[in-house]
Structure 1
Amino acid sequence: MQIEQTSAGQDTGQPLLKVDDLALRFKGTKANVVDGVSFSVNAGETLCIVGESGCGKSVTALSLMGLLPMPPGEIVSGTALFNGSDLLALPSRALGNIRGNEMAMIFQEPMTSLNPSYRIGEQIAEVVLRHRKVSKSEARQRALKMLEKVKIPAAAQRFRDYPHQLSGGMRQRVMIAMALANDPQLLIADEPTTALDVTIQAQIIDLIRTLQDETGTALIMITHDLGVVAGIADKVAVMYAGQIVEQGPVEDIFDNPQHPYTLGLMSSVPSIGQRSGRLTTISGMVPTIDRMPAGCRFAPRCPFSAEACRLSPPPLTELESGHSVACVHAPLETHFAEVGA
């Protein structure tokens, strides 16, 4: 069987996906739920988007995939160039031809993403038939091959199972098989391990990383787990209240975090060594969409907040090559050294 291959992993010198100044709003709200978000992903690269629940990570991903209902959602501004085409401006039919083919998504809860009335093998085959000129027999062969590729035990037997007959970890493997069935150039994984136990989480992350290495697929991983970020990311974008507050190479974010929110996230992670006290917490809550501060959205929770922070939102400013932060105090070590002098 011959399945036409896409150009996953090819390096043209341009970002595979370039999102610029993306702003989204829901009907009847006073502020943008996603506000001025910009990032890029190159072929074969992994970008992790991190932040608390309610920070706009999933909404950003759904808007790129064309899965956010419009209305009540509304694109206020921005572009999302994928292979030179603006995803936000494409007609639904054109976007449907890209979705599941050149771009694919793994969702947080596979049981709500898989159709309970159809066998898992047929659901994967349907994705192949939608985008490839192959027979039903060839599509089923491709589906079986993908089940084997994601290490489903006894794949030929499982092919005929319904979703409820599989464990949570196996269902997530089916979702990965479905997402990668057409060798997409970009894979978006939205908290793909949240509903799984710790051991299975590690297996799923290792599987995604292995398959990515084999195919050269670019990956956007949405997560709140900094352990996952450290092990898989090339670049990191830290989101808070709908805005990217810091982004850069993973080494820079972990070794030299420059936004107070990033510092708070790092400090709240438990260490493996001996405990020396209580874990650090970030006081307060993420603001609701109708109570967004006028200035820096993190200011009400920030231990370094000053009057300037509350007057106007700080722009995302590059501190060094590829490392940008939205904070009037950055670089933190320089600012506080001057304040203490």
Structure 2
Amino acid sequence: MTGSGTPLLEVANLELRIGAAPEPIVDGVSFTLDPGETLCIVGESGCGKSLTALALMGLLATPPLRRTAGTALFQGEDLFALSQDRLRQVRGGRMAMIFQEPMSSLNPALKIGEQIAESVRVHQGLGTEAARARAVEMLERVGIPAAEKRLDEYPHQLSGGMRQRAMIAMALANDPSLLIADEPTTALDVTIQAQILDLMRNLSEESDAALIMITHDLGVVAEMADKVAVMYAGRIVEAGSTAQIFDDPQHPYTLGLISSMPALGGARSRLVTIPGSVPSPTDMPSGCRFAARCPFVGPDCAVAPPGREIAQGHSVACWRAPLEEAMAERQERSA
């Protein structure tokens, strides 16, 4: 589902640095999000996906991290220019985040119901009874059985899937316009993963909330996304609709990610891998950050390629794009 008109969120040229590192660890990240739209940010661990989300939520650990450039207009307000009081009003109210591991995000000393009720008391000014009723309603809404009973249980008394549902209930309790989910299904088995993804999709459609989902799982991307931003070493290297990214990948990193997906059915074969690893956040290369792992690398890759649109809504930051030409040249040289 995609919206129209004024974007809900416009992030422009976000730059984050760590300590005295010479290169930013998140560099020039830009994207827009409409009401009701789902954006998946995909990439390996260490690519800056979670840092981008934490920056938007005002939850960066500063120091050593700091924002050195960029704006994030959310419903007309720049999130990076808000006072702490105003940011607290927005965070948890109009925008909320689901973290990867509920056991490290939920307070182990407080009952589940108390944690949900606290959120609605702060943001909606509800009294104790009304807040408890809202907590029960939210637990029922996310499919937790015997919600009244679960309300008075502690996080450790719930299964992993139940804890994740409780986190989603807490995030949605104030009907946010924007929901950020950071690897929300990583620690769950496949059946529970599917249930959580269905739940998030349905709740987003019901409330017209926009969703930013951070993941390294391309299966999740294919199932959930309206559009995709592929992130590598702190930069968005390719962005487009889900169909554009999967049907016509134009960055060597995107191509490598898609090629590394196991095929269903057919003869078994060795998985394709991307050689090397993501550069260290404190030792980012100054040119194309994928150059050391790229099969198409050339002398011009010593300079960072700018993002450019190769089709409507489809942008790529690679000197070799379109890759069809680079592949043909490579085949000619090897012939």
Query: Do the structures match in fold with TM over 0.5?
Result: yes
State how 1:117-196 maps to structure 2 within 5 Å: 117-196=109-188
Q: Distance in 2 between matches of 1:317 and 1:12?
A: 23
What are the ranges of 5 or more consecutive residues in structure 2 without an aligned counterpart?
none
Structure 1 position 322 matched with structure 2 position 313: yes
Amino acid at match of 2:136: L
**Partner-residue secondary structure (3-state), 2:211:** strand
Q: For residue 216 of structure 1, what is the aligned residue in structure 2? A: 208
State how 1:3-42 maps to structure 2 within 5 Å: 13-42=5-34
Q: Is the 8 A contact 1:17 1:41 kept in 2?
A: yes
Amino acid at match of 2:316: V
Which whole-Å deviations, capped at 9, do the CAs of 1:309-341 have from their partners, x for residues lacking one?
1x2100011101110000001111134446749
Q: Distance in 2 between matches of 1:275 and 1:292?
A: 39
Q: Distance in 2 between matches of 1:275 and 1:117?
A: 51
Q: Distance in 1 between matches of 2:282 and 2:62?
A: 20
Dislocated runs of 4+, deviation >2 Å: 9-12, 334-341
Structure 1 position 84 matched with structure 2 position 76: yes
Q: Is the 8 A contact 1:101 1:182 kept in 2?
A: yes
Distance 1:195 1:283, change over 3 A: same
**Partner-residue secondary structure (3-state), 1:300:** helix
Q: For residue 70 of structure 1, what is the aligned residue in structure 2? A: 62
Q: Is the 8 A contact 2:38 2:213 kept in 1?
A: yes
Q: For residue 88 of structure 2, what is the aligned residue in structure 1? A: 96
2:279 counterpart (281, 287, 290) = 287
Across the two proteins, how many residue pairs are aligned to each other? 332
Q: Is the 8 A contact 2:111 2:153 kept in 1?
A: yes
Amino acid at match of 1:297: R
Q: Distance in 2 between matches of 1:232 and 1:255?
A: 16
Coordinate RMSD, CA, aligned: 1.5
What are the ranges of 5 or more consecutive residues in structure 1 without an aligned counterpart?
1-8
2:240 counterpart (237, 243, 248) = 248
Q: For residue 113 of structure 1, what is the aligned residue in structure 2? A: 105
Which whole-Å deviations, capped at 9, do the CAs of 1:51-87 have from their partners, x for residues lacking one?
0000000000000000112222211111000011111
Q: Is the 8 A contact 1:30 1:289 kept in 2?
A: no
Q: Distance in 2 between matches of 1:202 and 1:81?
A: 32
Percent sequence identity is: 63
Which whole-Å deviations, capped at 9, do the CAs of 1:21-48 have from their partners, x for residues lacking one?
0000012222211001001110000000
1:229 counterpart (213, 221, 227) = 221
Q: For residue 304 of structure 2, what is the aligned residue in structure 1? A: 313
Q: Distance in 2 between matches of 1:277 and 1:191?
A: 28
Distance 1:195 1:10, change over 3 A: closer
TM-score by length of 1: 0.95
**Partner-residue secondary structure (3-state), 1:118:** coil
Q: Distance in 2 between matches of 1:55 and 1:318?
A: 22
**Partner-residue secondary structure (3-state), 1:289:** coil
**Partner-residue secondary structure (3-state), 1:38:** strand
* 1:276 CA displacement: 4.6
**Partner-residue secondary structure (3-state), 1:88:** helix
Q: Distance in 2 between matches of 1:10 and 1:277?
A: 38
* 1:11 CA displacement: 5.6
Q: Distance in 1 between matches of 2:4 and 2:89?
A: 22
Q: Is the 8 A contact 1:129 1:139 kept in 2?
A: yes
1:206 counterpart (186, 192, 198) = 198
